[in-house]
Amino acid sequence: MKNPPCFSIVCFIVFFFSIGQIKADDNPFRLMSKNSFQRMDADIQTSHTDSVLFDSSFPYVEGFSISGHIVQRDENSFVRILLEDESEGCYTILESSQLYNEVDTFFFDCYCEETHTLLDVRPTKLKIYVNNAQVLISEMQFISGNKKVTRARKLTLSNEKAINKRRQMENIVERINSYNYKHKFIWRADTTSLALLPWDKRKKILGITNDGVDTGGIEYYAEGIFEMRSRIISDEEKDSIWNSELTSTLFVDEFDWRNRHGKNWMTSVKYQGATNACWAFSAVGVTEALVNLYYNRLINLDLSEQELVSCSRSTTNSSMVTGSYRNALNWIANNGIVDEGAFPFDYQNDTVPCSDMSNDYTELVSFDSTGRNSQMSVHPDTIKRYLIKYGPMSTNYRVNGSSGHAVVLTGFDKLKLGDGVIVSTREGRVENIISDPNDPRIGKTYWICKNSYGTNSYSDGYIKLFLPGYDGGRGMCFIRTPMTTLHYTNDSIICEDFDGDGYYNWGIGPKPVHCPSWVPDIPDGDDSDYTKGPMDEYGYLADIPSMISDSTIYITQDTEWGVRKYVYHNVYVNEGKTLRITNDVNFYRGVTLNLAAGSTLVVDGGSLTDVTINYTGTTGTLIQFLNNGSINHMSYQDFVVPLGVTLDFNYGKIE
C-alpha cells in the first residue's frame, strides 16, 4: 500500500480472515456472499482527493466494499470512491451527497455500488474524490475471484449484477425524489437507461473527463425542469443576468419548434448508446429539423451520425470525444451528409474509417453555412433571438466542470406557478410543484432541448433545463439556409395559407418565387390560427381584428360567393334565399352551413371544402350542382339529404 501525503493514515494493517455465511437482508448496497469473504483493516481519513495503491499481489475479486462514515458539511458536499483495476477501468464503490443521502454524517457498512458484483477484476487503486466533506474508511471487504471465470459463472454473475444494479438505482431514485420534493426541485428521477450504465460509460456519455465531477443526479432525469447546480460563472454574473432578465420584456414567454404552425418540426429522438458522440447527434438533429423547416413540409429525414464521427474529425485522433458540433455542421455545409442507411451508426466501434461509407446513398443534404456565438456567457434574450430567427440550434450544457453534453436547443418557456411533476418518494406518490407565489424562480426562463438518449416509458427524449446564468451560448451554432438535397429543390418549398387568414407560411428562408402573386411578403406567424398574423422578431403574433369577432353570417338576400375565401363562422341561409358558390370556399374546422326551409344552395363551378351541412328546415329546400361544382364534406361525416330536401345533381361531385 502507498501512504499518500494527502491522507492521514494512523495505522494501515492488512490481515485476512474468513467468516461464515452472512445473513441475507434486503440491502442492495451491502456486500454479501453465500461463500466467505475477507476483510482488510484500514484507518483512512481525508478531506482531500487522492488515491491508495494496492499491492501487485492483490487477488482478483468478485465483490468489494468499504465501511466507515462521511461528514457532509453542506449541500455542496460530495464524495465519490472508485475502485480501479489493472486495465484502468473504474467501478463506483460509493457516491454520496445531500441529494443521495441527506444527513450530516453518512455511515456505511460493507457498502458497495458497482463493486457489489465484479467480473475478472484485480484491484490496483482506490480513488477517493472529496469536495467539502470528510471521509473515514475503517475497513475494506472483498470476495476472492479468479482471473478466468467459467462461462456459467459469468452468466450467473452478470444476472446478479443486473438485478442488483436495478435495485440500487430504484433505491437512489426514491432518495432523489424525496430530496427534490423536500427542497422544491421540480424534476422527477427514474431508473433511466443512462443511470443503469456503469460509471465508465456514463461519464463518457455525459462528457465528463474528471471522475470527481458531481453530476447533480442528471443521469436520473426523467421529466420536469432540471435545475443545474453549476459553478461555471460567478454568482455576481448570475445575479446580473437574473436581474436583467426580470426587467426584460422583449421576447415572448414561450417558444417551441415542436409546436409551430400546429406542427412538430423536430425529427425523432435518436439513441447515441454508450458513446460520447453527442456532438454528432446534435448536428444531425439540427440539420434534419432545418430540412423540414426550409421546405415547409415534414420530410423527417434520417441522416448519418456515423459520417460525422468517421469523417468530420481530425485524422490524428480517432476518439469520438474529439468531435464538435461546430466542426460537424461545417462538414455538412462543405461536404453534405448522407442518409443513415448509407452509413449506419456503430455503437461498438468509435474508430470506423470514413472509407466505410457506402456510395449507394439515397440522400445528400447540405446548406449554405453556419453561424455561432462564442461569448462565454450570453443573455437569455440573445439565445431567444437566434432560436426564433434561425430555428433549432446545436448547443451544450455542462455538468459542473465537465466538458459538456451536446443537445439540440428547440425552445424555451418561463417557470409558472403550478409547474412541476408527480413523483414517487419514500412517502408515496406526491405532487411536486411550484406552489409558493413568492418563489423567486417564477418568471425565469428554462430551456427545452432534444437529447440523444432515446425515448421510453418514462421520457420523451427531451430535457428541460433551468440554468441560472446559462452559458449555453458558448459555441452555440445555427444553420444558414438555403438547404440542398438530392430529392428537393426550392420549387419543393410549400407556400400555403393553411388557416385561411390571408397570410402565408413558407418555412424558414425568403419567400419562394413560385408563391402566387397575391401572397404578402410578410409570412404568417402561426398558420394554424386564423386570428393571428405576422410574427415580430421577438416572437409576438399580430392579431387580425376582423378574424377575432364571433360573427355568425346570415344570408338575408340572394348572394354569390365568387372569390376564393375561408369561412370562420357559422352560415345561415334564410328561407327563400339563395347562396351561389362560384369559387373555392373553405370552411374552418367545425364551422357549419345551415339551410332553412325553402332556402337554396347552388354550387355553380365552385367548391365547398370541409363543410358540414345542417338543416334547420327541410320543406322546399334545394341543393343544386352546376358546371362541375363540388362539395368536399367534413371528414368522417355523412352527406345527408333528408326528406323534403331536393338534390339536383346534374353534373358535379360530392366527396
Residue 427 pLDDT > 90 = no
Coil/strand/helix, residue 125: strand
Q: What pLDDT score was predicted for residue 401?
A: 60
Q: Report how many helices (DSSP H) and strands (DSSP E) the chain contains, helices first.
A: 8, 36
Average pLDDT across the chain, whole number: 86
φ/ψ (deg, to 5) at 367: -150, 175
pLDDT of residue 548: 66
pLDDT at residue number 204: 87
What is the mean predicted confidence (pLDDT) over 440-461?
A: 90
- What is the pLDDT averaged over residues 123-129? 96
b (16+ CB within 10 A) / e for 521-541: eebbbbbebbbbbbbeeebeb
**Each residue of 65-83: pLDDT tens digit?**
999 999 999 988 999 999 9
Closest by alpha carbon to 215, among 21, 57, 31, 80? 80
Q: How many residues does the chain have?
A: 655
Percentage with pLDDT > 70 across the chain: 87
For residue range 36-64, list pLDDT tens digits in order.
789 999 889 999 998 999 999 999 999 99
Q: Are strands 584-587 and 565-567 parallel, antiparallel or unpaired?
A: parallel
Packed helices 278-295 and 325-335: angle between N→C axes, nearest 10 degrees = 50
pTM of the model: 0.82
The answer, yes or no, to whether residue 227 has pLDDT greater than 60, is yes
Per-residue confidence (pLDDT) for residue 543, from 0 to 100: 92
Tell me which residue has cell 494512523: 10
Residue 354 is given by DSSP the state G
Contact 531/543 with Cβ under 8 angstroms?
yes
pLDDT in tens, 137-196: 999 999 988 777 778 888 888 898 999 999 999 999 999 999 999 999 999 999 999 999
Residue 436 CA, chain-centre distance (Å), reads 27
- pLDDT for position 334: 96
**Per-residue pLDDT reduced to its tens digit, 598-654:** 999 999 999 998 888 999 988 999 999 999 999 888 766 778 889 989 888 877 688
- Give per-residue pLDDT as tens, 232-247: 334 454 455 445 454 4
SS3 for 45-85, per residue?
EECCCEEEECCCCCCCEEEEEEEEEEEECCCCCEEEEEEEE
Residue of higher predicted confidence among 24 and 387: 387
**By C-alpha distance, which of 274, 290, 267 is closest to 462?**
267
pLDDT of residue 476: 83
